[in-house]
Structure 1
Amino acid sequence: MPQFVVERNIPGLGDMDKETLREISAKSNAVVASLSEPYTWITSYVTGDKMYCVHEAESADAVYRHAEKGGFPADRVTEITTLIGPHSAAR
C-alpha cells in the first residue's frame, strides 16, 4: 500500500505538553479506527510549528479524508516513492 508524508502547519505545536500531544494521538487513532478503508498511521515528527507524519493509505484522498474527519490540517500530502538511508550505499 502506498505511503504518504503529510505536512501539517500547527502554530505552537513545539510548545505543546505531552498530555496535549497524547490527546491529539488518541483522536487520530479514533479517526483511523472509524475509517471504512485500509489506513495506518506510521509515525509523526514534531519540528517547531510543523508536524511531518507518515501514513499508509490507498490514496492521497484517503489521507485528506482522515485529516478532515479529525479536524487536523493537511497542508501537503506527498506520496513516498523511494526510501533511502545508510543501507542504500551497500552494493
Structure 2
Amino acid sequence: MADVEIRCDDVKPGMRNSERIAVFSDHTGKKHYIRVEADFLSTIGGVHYLPVGLVQIDRDSGYRLVELPHEAETGANRLWIKPENIRTVESVMS
C-alpha cells in the first residue's frame, strides 16, 4: 500500500509550540494553509511534506486529486495537485 504526501512550499509556526502551519499550492498555484501537529509532517532533505489521501489521477494532465487531513483555511477539503509536488511513500504493514 502506498501513502501519498504533498510538498509544502513553507512551514510556519502554529498557535502552540507543537503546531505548524503547512503552506502548499494547488495545480493553479493558489496557496493553501492548514494547521497540523508538527510531528504530522515529514521532512526529507529540508523539504517538508504533508500526508494526504489520493482520490484520483487525471489521465490527461497527470494532476492528482488529494483529500486533505482536514479543511484548509480556504474551505477546501480536496484539491488538484501537480504530480511534481506529490511524493509516494511505501508503507510497511505490520
Structure with the largest fraction of helix:
1
Per the normalisation by structure 1, the TM-score is 0.36
Structure with the largest fraction of strand:
2
Higher RCO structure (Cα 8 Å, ≥6 apart): 1
